[in-house]
Amino acid sequence: MLALPFRSAKDLAGAIRRRKLGALELLDLYVARMETFNPTVNAIVVTDLEAARKRARAADRALARGQVWGPLHGVPMTIKESYDVVGMPTTWGVPELRNNFPTQNALAVDRLLAAGVVLFGKTNVPIHLADWQSFNAIHGTTNNPWDVTRTPGGSSGGAAAALATGMTALEAGSDIGSSIRNPAHYCGLFGLKPSWAIVPPRGQAMPGRITVSDIDVCGPLARSADDLDLALAAMAGPDEIDGVGWKLALPSPTKKSLREYRVAVMLTSPESEVDREVQDRLQALADFLAKKRAKVSDRARPAVDMAEAHRVYISLLRGATSYRITPEEFATQLDDARRLRDDPSYYARMARANTMHHKDWLALDEARQRMRWQWKAFFDEWDLLLCPVAASAAFPHQQSGQRWERTIRVNGKDVPTTDQLFWAGYTGMAYLPSAVAPCGRTPAGLPVGVQIVAPQYGDRLAIHFARLLEREFQPFIPPDDYLGGPGMAPRNREAKGATPPSDSPGQRSARPGKPVARLDSGAS
């Protein structure tokens, strides 16, 4: 079993209910680890420890009276900085919002509190949540625990780094462009991008906005698949404005073993070439599933044109986030959109999408709805699609210039970082749920995750498949450099986690970079 700081929230909640562990005791352990390791990774950027300790004491007293608040009673957690929490600022990394203190919690926060959690801090994000890195001018840069010269992902990068280092028990993020999936992949964690709109986003928005954004979702990150299930159960369900007319009833998974699954595997795409080191890990998983006698195909695909899907997604994505551009930026991009009418570059696509007519959006939505039916036909034949989360493992920090001007190294070539948005949008813009599960390490010791795509509202199916992979292929493994410190016995440096079965190709060892001082930089 993993050492105490790295155990699943489900295990920790069970220990608290059995009175083997106190809520305040566990909170103090995570705070001590935060004090030890957060200067290295800069994941947790704001706390309210007085309120958290008050709640933890109340949780212990309630349990002494035989009262259990919920399935996560007394479990300490942090949450992405973009969620409103009374007593802590919500800035989205925007300097002008440095002193924005909300007067009520996000709905998801209230629901997690109702499930029993002890919320003690918030984790770092990029400005506007718009990067696969997590840095901003208010809180600086978050580092990847496996190699602190690299990004932990974004925009829920602080969330992933806090989980991977054993500084918190559970996290919640948001995802419109892989902002849950990408950090889970880069940091070796589990994550869930739920089906669109099943977790109401009220209170996880820029100040003053209450509209549900297209494509965007809220969902959990964790160190186990069971925790995804628990957190989703707490967070999901209609908001009160909708609840009088509908209720959420996600189907329960019926399959018991890997051999019962029909799985399509996709290793790369012409729209976003995937680094061979990432492909190799997914191929190892496909081979493992075949050995387990699952039905596996490397050719089965929905009848969706990938180039068209990528075009539609980028336009819908940028249309969904266009509300935040200033009137001056709108005027500039309107001129650029006219000037770059046929330009295929990311910036030109963004400018056209940010300034498009509503009639153009309706045409894009029509194309999206047709693709949704094509995905439905695909899932009539196949249970899941397994594919990459991103084009590479975690890449080195790079904070100069605009996002679309930066590059990453893929198979010996420099490619735009924005190309890999394909892996976010191919399924995401069709409202499909995706779980991410650990899938081993690259030769350099960097984590690789697999994206498990299920049919719409098949969230629990994706989680269950991740659970089977966790048990039989690859569990969460902590980074070596964080196996010391509070809550760790000396023997735990050798006992890194569950021992894999002998026929599992999942990798257990890693060669992480050594911690260095955190990098502070203003956001671009």
When pLDDT is averaged across residues 305-322 and rounded to a whole number, the result is: 97
Look at the chain and count its residues: 524
Residue 295 has pLDDT above 90, yes or no: yes
- Residue 441's contacts (CB-CB under 8 Å, 6 or more residues apart) are 188, 281, 447, 448, 507, 509, 510
Asked whether residue 102 carries a pLDDT value surpassing 70, the answer given is yes
Domains of the chain (ranges; CATH) run 4-240+255-267+468-492 (3.90.1300.10), 306-372 (no CATH)
Q: Residue 416's beta-bridge partner residues?
A: 407
* Helices 225-235 & 9-17 angle (0-180, nearest 10): 80
What mean pLDDT do residues 80-98 have? Answer: 98
Indicate the pLDDT class of residue 218, thresholds 50, 70 and 90: very high
Average pLDDT, the chain: 93
Q: Is 179 among the catalytic positions?
A: yes
Q: Give per-residue burial for 46-71: e unless 16+ CB within 10 Å, then b.
A: bbbeebbbebbeebbebbeeeeebbb
Catalytic-role residue among 8, 82, 134, 155: 155
Q: Does residue 167 carry a pLDDT above 70? A: yes
**Cβ atoms within 10 A of the Cβ of 514, count?**
9
Q: What is the pLDDT of residue 515?
A: 28
Contact 144, 186 (CB under 8 A): yes
**How high is the pLDDT of residue 1?**
83
Residue % of the chain over a pLDDT of 90: 93
Q: Is the pLDDT of residue 505 over 90?
A: no
Q: Quick one: average pLDDT of 244-257?
A: 96
pLDDT of residue 282: 98
Local structure of residue 441 (DSSP, 8 states): E
Q: Tell me, what's the pLDDT at 414?
A: 97
How does residue 328 score in pLDDT terms, banded at 50, 70 and 90?
very high
Percentage of the chain beyond pLDDT 70 is 93
Active site residue 80: yes
- pLDDT for residue 504: 36
Single pTM value for the model: 0.93
Q: How does strand 407-410 pair with strand 413-416?
A: antiparallel
Q: Which residue in 179, 195, 434, 524 is the catalytic one?
A: 179
Is the model's pLDDT at 458 over the cut of 60? yes
Residue 55's pLDDT is what? 98
Q: Can you tell me the mean pLDDT for 119-134?
A: 97
Pairing state of beta strands 384-388 and 262-265? Answer: parallel
Mean pLDDT of 36-46: 98
Catalytic choice (8, 10, 80, 224) = 80
